[in-house]
Each structure stands twice: as structure tokens, then as C-alpha cells.
């Protein structure tokens, strides 16, 4: 069980920030996915001298299923890798937020993995309208406003250091 810090909850991202992040992340995922498909189309034409068009899609019934799997893989990789290595997605950079553990530390890979898999649950995207999103609660993580969080933790640190002797 992780130690729960009140400073983490005091500085949670607002519901509007979370909504903006959801929309922006979806846009970025679409751009990445269609960019990858565009590059795949160019490479396919260069290597096999074969264009991807409507007849190509009609000839291969499983192609739609393959594209769905690739799309889901992109979504999983986008959230999992960015939140684990950077603590934030592209949208979180824009909104000034970050994912942290409820104990104020960097989330573990298992927390991020649980957070990413929790997004599969239907209506999870709307769960942030409550107290915490399901993927936050289940993984024991929070999305915080970075500036407010750092300011409050610095103030607490300075207050705690009052009266201690400085060694020069």
C-alpha cells in the first residue's frame, strides 16, 4: 500500500484540463496513426511497386482487422511509453500537467501499465468527471498541475527547514 499524500490531491488537474487532454491526445494519436499509414503506403509502393487503393482493401478481408489492431497498438504505445518515460503525453505538455503516483513519486511501470489497460473499460473516458478517473483510481496515480504542485511542495520544504542550522 502506498503512502497517500494530501499535496497530490490538492493539486489535481481540473476536469476541463482532463477533457482537453482527452481531445488533444485523440488528435495526436490520429495524426501519428495516419502518418504511419502514409509512410507505409509510400514504402509499399517503393518496395513492391503496388499501390494501396480500394481494390487492395477489397481483396484482403482481414486488412480492416489488421488496421484496427495496429491502431489499438498505437494507442497503447502512445499512453504507456509516454507516461512511463516522460510522465506525460503531448496533451499533458500543453495543459501543464503530469502523471504521478499518490505517494508523490514517479509511477512504476506496473502502475502505468494498469493505467493504460484501464482505458479499455467502456466509459472510462467519462470517469474523470467524477472525483478521479477510473484509470487514476485503479492504478493509484493522479494527474496534477505541475506548477501548483511544485510550488506547494517547495513551500512545505522551506517551512520544514526553518530553524535548521545551515552549514556553510
Distance in angstroms between the alpha carbons of the first and the last residue of the chain: 39
The pLDDT assigned to 141 comes to: 92
Query: Which residues on adjacent β-strands are paired with residue 142?
Result: 100
Task: Spell out the SS3 assignment of 69-123.
Answer: HHHHHHHHHHHHHHHHHCCCCHHHHHHCEEEEECCCCCCCHHHHHHHHHHCCCCC
- Side-chain-facing half-sphere of 91: CA atoms under 13 Å: 19
Give the angle subtended at the CA of 12 by the CAs of 6 and 18, to the nearest 5°: 160
Q: Which three cell numbers stand for residue 163?
A: 530553524
User: Which of 23, 31, 21 lies closest to 97, judged by CA?
Assistant: 21
Whole-number Å distance between alpha carbons of 59 and 95: 44
The pLDDT assigned to 155 comes to: 86
| pTM, 2 dp | 0.80
The pLDDT assigned to 94 comes to: 96
Answer whether 70's CB lies under 8 Å from 62's CB. Answer: no
The pLDDT assigned to 31 comes to: 94
Q: Which residues of the chain have pLDDT under 50?
A: none
Amino acid at each position: 500500500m502506498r503512502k497517500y499524500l494530501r499535496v497530490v490531491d490538492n493539486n489535481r488537474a481540473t476536469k476541463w484540463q482532463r477533457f482537453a487532454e482527452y481531445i488533444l491526445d485523440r488528435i495526436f494519436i490520429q495524426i501519428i496513426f495516419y502518418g504511419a499509414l502514409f509512410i507505409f503506403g509510400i514504402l509499399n509502393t517503393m518496395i513492391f511497386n503496388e499501390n494501396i487503393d480500394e481494390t487492395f482493401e477489397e481483396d484482403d478481408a482481414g486488412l480492416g482487422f489488421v488496421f484496427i489492431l495496429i491502431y489499438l497498438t498505437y494507442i497503447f504505445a502512445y499512453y504507456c511509453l509516454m507516461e512511463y518515460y516522460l510522465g506525460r503525453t503531448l496533451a499533458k505538455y500543453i495543459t501543464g500537467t503530469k502523471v504521478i503516483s499518490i505517494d508523490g513519486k514517479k509511477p512504476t511501470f506496473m502502475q502505468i501499465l494498469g493505467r493504460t489497460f484501464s482505458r479499455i473499460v467502456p466509459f472510462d473516458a467519462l470517469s474523470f468527471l467524477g472525483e478521479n478517473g477510473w484509470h487514476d483510481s485503479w492504478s493509484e496515480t493522479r494527474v496534477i498541475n505541475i506548477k501548483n504542485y511544485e510550488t506547494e511542495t517547495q513551500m512545505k520544504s522551506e517551512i520544514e527547514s526553518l530553524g535548521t542550522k545551515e552549514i556553510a
